């Protein structure tokens, strides 16, 4: 009996490195903020941010996503100049100190991305769905990949209130697919190759918990758009509300969501917990049949006298 057909993860290629079903990418998070929703990732202090990046690389991160502004409406007001001050010198240090690490800038502002491009970034993570329409063009100009997101039309730093996509629970999935397909088309027309265009369903943003869970179940439909899929689910509210847990206790729920999305063909996973996410992704890739076990000696004939444990 043949195993069930599984959606093939679309490859992502950044700076000559390829990520696919056999090797999904872990995108670590370094927030240069004092007010991120997860207290374990507040690195306003430069030395703390440097330690966090080094630890992420040691734990197996493929990409490091650097942000300078909290996503939600709570917290500090941060203008473009302050955002540049927070992220660009750090990115410059990161590029010089860890030249092989792929760097991503998490911003919705084209002027911030342009400054980051001058020191070398590989990906522009546009979390707010082209709120600044020039951002995708800047990504193309600096030779970076680009993340297309879905926020239900909300402007930056807006928390969802009274969200509705229609009476059918699948209406949110349809809206996500339409928005991501159009955003990816714009990115390609702007000059970004398809294998450098990531599509992100952007769970929690502009969505209720029920919306996010529905979209997660339909990850394979997002994969079917033909672009590598980014899932950013780590410790988010849809996990917290599902289990009634605060951010500090959402690791297991985040990993469960990660396993499901990986099984359904996502390629990149934005995560606070790098090592645990790396191990989950490797295990899922092996169960799917896309990756060989690193060791396979159980039940195999061994030379006489050798103890297999």
Question: Which residue(s) pair with 29 in the sheet?
Answer: 65
CA atoms within 13 A on the CB side of 77: 1
Determine, yes or no, domain membership for 263.
yes
- Its domain, for residue 25, covers 12-288
CATH code of 76's domain: 3.20.20.20
Is 303 a domain residue? no
Residue 182 lies in a domain: yes
pTM of the model: 0.93
pLDDT tens-place values along the chain, 309 residues long: 556 788 989 999 999 999 999 999 999 999 998 776 666 666 778 888 999 999 999 999 999 999 999 887 677 789 999 999 999 999 999 999 999 999 999 999 999 999 999 999 999 999 999 999 999 999 999 999 999 999 999 989 888 888 999 999 999 999 999 999 999 999 999 999 999 999 999 999 999 999 999 999 999 999 999 999 999 999 999 999 999 999 999 999 999 999 999 999 999 999 999 999 999 999 999 999 999 999 999 999 876 656 555
d(CA 282, CA 259): 10
Of 196, 275, 262, 192, nearest in space to 233 by CA: 262
**196 in a structural domain:** yes
Number of domains comprising the chain: 1
Tell me the CA end-to-end span of the chain in Å, nearest whole number: 33
Is 305 contained in some domain?
A: no
| Residues involved in catalysis | 236, 270
For the CA atoms of the chain, what is the radius of gyration? Answer: 19
Residue 309 lies in a domain: no
Q: Tell me the C-alpha distance between 116 and 114, whole Å.
A: 5
Confirm whether 119 is domain-assigned: yes
Q: Is residue 302 part of a domain?
A: no
Q: What is the pLDDT of residues 46-72, one digit of tens each?
A: 888 999 999 999 999 999 999 999 887
């Amino acid at each position: 009996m043949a195993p069930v057909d599984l959606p093939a993860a679309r490859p992502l290629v950044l700076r000559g490195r390829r990520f696919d079903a056999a090797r999904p990418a872990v995108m670590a998070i370094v927030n240069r903020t004092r007010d991120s929703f997860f207290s374990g990732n507040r690195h306003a202090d430069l030395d703390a941010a440097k330690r966090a990046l080094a630890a992420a690389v040691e734990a197996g991160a493929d990409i490091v996503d650097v942000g300078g502004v909290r996503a939600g409406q709570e917290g500090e007001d941060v203008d473009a100049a302050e955002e540049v001050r927070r992220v660009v010198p750090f990115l410059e240090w990161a590029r010089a100190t860890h030249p092989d690490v792929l760097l991503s800038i998490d911003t919705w502002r084209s002027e911030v991305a342009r400054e980051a491009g001058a020191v070398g970034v590989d990906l522009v993570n546009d979390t707010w769905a082209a709120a600044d329409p020039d951002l995708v063009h800047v990504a193309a100009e600096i030779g970076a990949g680009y993340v297309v997101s879905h926020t239900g039309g909300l402007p930056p730093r807006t928390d969802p209130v009274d969200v509705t996509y229609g009476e059918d629970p699948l209406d949110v999935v349809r809206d996500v697919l339409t928005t991501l397909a159009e955003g990816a088309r714009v990115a390609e027309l702007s000059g970004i190759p398809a294998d450098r265009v990531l599509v992100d369903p952007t769970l929690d943003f502009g969505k209720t918990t029920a919306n996010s869970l529905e979209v997660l179940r339909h990850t394979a439909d997002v994969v079917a758009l033909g672009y590598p899929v980014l899932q950013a689910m780590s410790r988010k509210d849809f996990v917290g509300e599902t289990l009634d847990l605060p951010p500090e206790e959402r690791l297991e729920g985040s990993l469960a969501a990660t396993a499901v999305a990986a099984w359904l063909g996502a390629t990149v996973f934005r995560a606070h917990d790098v090592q645990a996410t790396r191990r989950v992704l490797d295990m899922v890739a092996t169960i799917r049949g896309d990756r060989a076990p690193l060791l396979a000696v159980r039940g195999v004939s061994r030379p006489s006298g050798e103890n297999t444990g």
